[in-house]
Amino acid sequence: MKRNIENYLVAWKDSPKRKPLILRGARQVGKTFIINAFGNAHFEYYLSVNLEQDRNLQTVFASNNPEIIINELTSLYNIPVIAGKTLLFVDEIQVSPAAIASLRYFYEQAPGLHIIAAGSLLDHTLNEVSYSMPIGRVEYAYLYPLNFMEFCTALGETGLCDYISNFSPDKNFSATIHSKIADYLRLYFFIGGMPEAIQTYIDTGNLIEVEKVHSNILTSLQYDFAKYGTRKEQDFLKLSLHYVANNIGRKVKYVNIDRNVHSSQLKEALLKLEMSRVIHLVRKTKSVNPPITQFVDNDTFKPVFMDIGLANHLAQIRLADIKNLCTDFEGALAEQFVGQEFIASSPVFKETRLYYWIREAKNSNAEIDYLLQIENGIYPVEVKAGKTGTLKSLQVFLGAVDKQKGIRLNLDVPNYGDHLQAVIRVNNQNKSIQYSLISLPLYFAGFIGEMKLL
């Protein structure tokens, strides 16, 4: 199953400024699989150790002496650890803060050795341990569920991927190809991007088997809650998890999660789910000029799930006949998909945050689903589940902050409009605005920053 991160790993391998690499991502997004494939394909020797499966290995890394660690690992596994020829992969490194701390010594004392570490709950350990962390002596990469293009590639639809990748604004977009891509998009909405779910569909073509995979993944995610705190705190995590799946794209209201639980406890549960990369919190921002992080309200946010297929499963949407399935959840799924694509299409080395804009005024509310900073511009993005829909909120945003260009993502073919006119209400007065609209199919979400349309 080809992943976009593979090219990044090859570049890391060949870089003269390479540092030990920590791969971060939620459970079961494919971290171990991709590193195993990379190690076996690109190195003469590959040594993989799992600190969760063999707790005795923690004493090996406790010395913080790379030479001693390498000698002991070579003796234990009978695999040479040679700079430039061996990839050392330390999996589930979060169980050993000492092993994390040792990475700085590998950087300083054994810079020629290729070493990668990964862990499903690594962010919690990085946030809590008191050991001297290897700041500035490691680099990070981020892995998420497969995005839509990776999904289509896995299903053998490379022709569709090439057509999307080679799209040019000066060419007409084939309605026939658009229809076929839309069919795969709907399939992705319900299968999602978890590698095991996709492989199961490839192997069986059976959506019920995919449901079983979703169920098992969610069970394992909730099993991890036992590591987060007290039984009561675990209950708050479960409440929040189910709330998110049923309220994608809606501003979080703690009273709707459980009116009998204090908001601070529920907020802490949501933040823990975010740290575990099970959910992403889209934060409210008032920033209309770069940087987009300048005026962020960290206490106001709406959630999206780590994976659209898992979200559907938690929301109890069955996959038996998705072609005829039409639900009130369509708008939420479209917003979930776009957010997931924005995150997955970001540079591998960059941890991406999502933002939205909202104006709450009497009889004049307006909300922009996402705000994107692309180079030195900030652009509003409206997400529509169908081919039609009003643009009131987008027009209000453009008029209120004196911007001239907006983006719409929907299920129609690409089209562009210049010198569009609208009358909006700003500060209790009518205001005429002129703007440009870039309208693209939902499946172009991951390409917006690359299309040179802005």
pLDDT of residue 446: 92
Residue 280 lies in a domain: no
Q: Which of the listed residues 111, 142, 173 is the one where a domain comes to its end?
A: 142
Which pairs from 299-303 meet CB under 8 Å and 24+ separation? 299/267, 300/251, 300/358, 301/251, 301/252, 302/247, 302/248, 302/249, 302/250, 302/251, 302/252, 302/356, 303/244, 303/247, 303/248, 303/249, 303/250, 303/252, 303/270, 303/279
Residue 258 lies in a domain: no
**CA 400, CA 361: separation in Å to the nearest integer?**
13
Domain of residue 60, CATH code: 3.40.50.300
Contacting residues for 189 by C-beta, under 8 A, at least 6 apart: 308, 309, 312, 322, 333, 337
Residue 246 lies in a domain: no
Nearest to 338 by CA among 297, 293, 372: 372
Residue 107 lies in a domain: yes
Amino acid letter, 399: G
Residue 271 lies in a domain: no
Residue 36 lies in a domain: yes
Give Cα separations from 67 to 19, 74, 98 (angstroms): 17, 11, 16
pLDDT in tens, the chain (454 residues): 899 999 999 999 999 999 999 999 999 999 999 999 999 999 999 999 999 998 889 899 988 899 999 999 999 999 999 999 999 999 999 989 889 989 999 999 999 999 999 988 787 777 666 555 677 899 999 999 999 999 999 999 999 999 999 998 778 999 999 999 999 998 999 899 999 999 999 999 999 999 999 999 999 999 888 877 788 999 999 999 999 999 999 999 999 999 999 999 999 999 999 999 999 999 999 998 999 999 999 999 999 999 999 999 998 876 655 555 555 678 889 999 999 999 998 899 999 999 999 987 766 688 999 999 988 889 999 999 888 888 999 999 998 888 899 999 999 999 998 889 998 877 778 889 999 999 999 999 999 877 666 6
Q: Which of the listed residues 87, 115, 142 is the one where a domain comes to its end?
A: 142
pLDDT of residue 331: 86
Q: Which of the listed residues 96, 124, 142 is the one where a domain comes to its end?
A: 142
Residue 79 lies in a domain: yes
- Total count of domains within the chain: 2
Range of the domain at 416: 356-450
The DSSP result for 372-420, as a single string, is EEETTEEEEEEE-SSS----HHHHHHHHHHT--EEEEEESSPPEEEEEE
Q: Does the model's pTM come out above 0.85? A: yes
Give Cα separations from 449 to 126, 214, 441, 453 (angstroms): 31, 31, 14, 9
Residue 387 lies in a domain: yes
